Structure 1
Amino acid sequence: MTALPAGPILIWGAGAIGGTLGAAFLRAGHEVVFVDNAVDHVAAIRANGLRIEGPLWTATVQAPAFTPEELEGRFGLTFLCVKALHTRGAITELAPHLTPDAMVVSAQNGLNEIAISEAVGEGRTIGCFVNFGADYLSPGVVHYSGKGAVVVGEIDNRTTPRITALHGLMQEFEPDAVLTDNIWGYLWGKLVYGALLFATALTDDSIADVLDAAEARDVLTRLGQEVGSVATERGIRTEGFNGFDPEAFMPGAPQSLVDASFAEMVAHNRTSSKSHSGIWRDLAIRKRKTEVEAQLGPIVSEGQRLGVPTPLTRRLIALIREIEDGTRGLSMANLAVLDGQEGASA
């Protein structure tokens, strides 16, 4: 097996996803360097290490930590783990620290591989899909709350020695990690599932409870099928994971298939101690902007380009914006508004 690039693994964004991955790589014996723009988080890691809490394993790991302005040197393997809305800024800061043959792995939500490849080249961009549960709790502390799908693939769908080696590294974190020749199918599948998660974040209820709610089933199904229609028209073969069945989110799918997929997604989410999405945490706890524009915006623009209507996705973006602005509260009634029942109490 061809070795991965020499030197430490650079984790750019040491929050929920990056912190969990970096800690797992350290536990497996790899060198890791953390970079984060939160000065208090970097200071806490320097002083006390990075603490991973949760039901799967608990550990405090030690590794160098820097803000982007402090980092020096060049790195061959980087995991980019920032929020999608920060991708372009982060890749601009990261680019000078990449070796010519570097691999930048997009461990994010959305279609960030497009922006990364535009900035540093397709040859240095690696597709990655993750669905495990994790949350940033406080400076120096991350909660790893539940297992989930982990997938890597070349963005041109080839099977290369380097992607095979990277897959081996990911198996050290998640033994069931997948090496795929259809990474865009997973990324678009996550967009369908992600739209459902944004809808659950309109409420104060848990992911599982909203997905399981009879009154939410119809609008959630149509939302998912709307995104699935854009993916299909774009020529994407979406992939399933963790109970999400892409066939259930194609127009005209039988109700039995839809119900079966929802039941499996509910079951998967009930196994995790992460009851609410990171989207909900951004809205309800951290009071900051979500990734709604970066994640759902491309669905709307692609739908417009392809002639596929996306009214529910557009309305969902607008509702999330209102919650971000403080003009709308979190409530199950927001799902009725999403459904077009404008008179529903919010």
Structure 2
Amino acid sequence: MKIGILGSGAMGCLFGAAFHRAGHDVTLIDVNQPHLDAINAHGLELDTRAGVEHLPIPARLPADATGPFDLVLVFTKTFHTEGALAGIAHAIGENTHLLSLQNGLGNDRKLAGVVSDDRVMVGASMLPSDLEGPGKVRSHGEGYSKLYPAFGGDPAMAQAVADALTAGGLPAQLDPDIHAAIWSKAIFNAAMNPMCALTRRTPGFLGASEEARATIRAVVEEGVAAAHAHGVMIDAQPIHDLTQVSMTDHADHEASMLQDVKAGRRTEVDAINGAIVKAAAEKGLSAPVTQTLWHLVKLEEAKLA
């Protein structure tokens, strides 16, 4: 497959590397020029528990991406989705499939505005990855990914993508109940990301605090209630378990929202906590702890002005 990774930060590079290892024609696409320059000059440096690799994957600005792609994997920040896809419109053909593994809720509808519904896939990935510097990505920790056509239909392309990722070292599987997986990840992120961002600490710090653990538990329960109200009957316990894994196995991982706050960038809190609060309100529910974290992170963003 000819694959474009739209948004080639920490996660995009991790997935691009997997497709590259599996023998596919991969292009990393981003607007971070020093990052692109470093990759083109020295290869993508990927540090995993298996060791350090230097992978010769081409990295391009959106305008320089050449298509048509068979698959575009969307890993941009959620608020950049439409603009980023518009930037590579010339490389999206009549058979191009789009896959979002982005954070939050509602990404499927954004992709459906670009290609037909049958070419939209969505997924959730529970893999840690950090951008250590231009052209350098570190991923120490275990995880998995799930994906499926967003609106049903033939899963053949989704299966091909999952097989390619697995062959490239990132275990992936099809999940017909993909929207439950997306809700579960959004709830996990709503609990962990703002707490890391607001305390300027990694999950290990949160695990040592009973106040932090109680707040995290409350957000998970609020999110699960909102999901149930929308007919997504997920179980809270696996999400609680994932938060515990985050606080132990991934104790030093810098959550994306923490990275954004430290760098003075806008976060994805609207698509995560904000989306859950709004989904709850649509069904007459409140999510006060989730909402408080949303508002506090928005105050952090207001400092940027």
Partner residue of 2:4?
10
Alpha-carbon displacement from aligned partner over 1:180-216 (angstroms, at most 9, x marks no partner): 1011000000111011112322213321331452222
Alignment of 1:218-229 (within 5 A): 218-229=214-225
The alignment partner of 2:17 has SS state of helix
Aligned letter for 1:115?
Answer: K
| Aligned counterparts of 2:253 and 2:67: Cα–Cα separation in 1 | 39
Aligned counterparts of 1:127 and 1:264: Cα–Cα separation in 2? 21
Structure 1 residue 266 corresponds to structure 2 residue 255:
no
For the Cα contact (< 8 Å) 2:191–2:290, is it kept in 1? no
1:157–1:180 contact (8 Å) kept in structure 2: no
Which of these residues, 237, 240, 256, is aligned with residue 278 of structure 1? 256
Residues 207 and 303 (structure 1 numbering): CA distance in 2 closer, same or farther, change over 3 Å? same
| Structure 1 partner of 2:200 | 204
The residue that corresponds to 1:31 in the other structure is 25
Determine helix, strand or coil for the equivalent of 1:120.
Answer: coil
Unaligned runs of 5+ in 2: none
Give the fraction of aligned pairs with identical amino acids, expressed as a percent.
26
- Partner AA of 1:55 in structure 2: R
Structure 2: how far apart are the matches of 1:90 and 1:264? Answer: 31
Matched, 1:155 2:155: no
Q: Aligned residue for 2:176? A: 181
User: Cα RMSD over matched residues?
Assistant: 2.2
Match of 1:120 among 115, 121, 124: 115
Task: State whether residues 84 and 294 of structure 1, in contact with CA within 8 Å, keep that contact through their aligned partners in structure 2.
Answer: yes
The list of structure 1 runs, each at least 4 consecutive aligned residues, that deviate by more than 3 angstroms after superposition, is 173-176, 261-265
Query: Which of 181-190 and 191-200 deviates more?
Result: 191-200
Change (3 A) 1:263 1:303: closer
How far apart in 2 are the matches of 1:324 and 1:52?
30
- Which one of the candidate residues 82, 87, 106 is aligned to 1:88? 82
Q: Name the larger-Rg structure.
A: 1
1:313 to 290, 293, 299: 290
* Structure 2 Cα separation of the partners of residues 182 and 263 of structure 1: 20
User: Structure 1 length as normaliser, TM-score?
Assistant: 0.80
Query: Number of residues paired by the alignment?
Result: 302
* Partner residue in 2 for 1:243: none
Segments of structure 1 that go 5 or more residues without pairing to the other structure are: 1-5, 239-245, 250-260, 328-346
Q: Deviations over 1:283-342 (max 9, x none)?
A: 12x221111112222222222222111222221111112223349xxxxxxxxxxxxxxx
Whole-angstrom CA distance in 1 between matches of 2:6 and 2:170? 23
Deviation at 1:142, TM superposition (A): 1.2
1:40 to 34, 38, 43: 34
- 1:72 paired residue number: 66
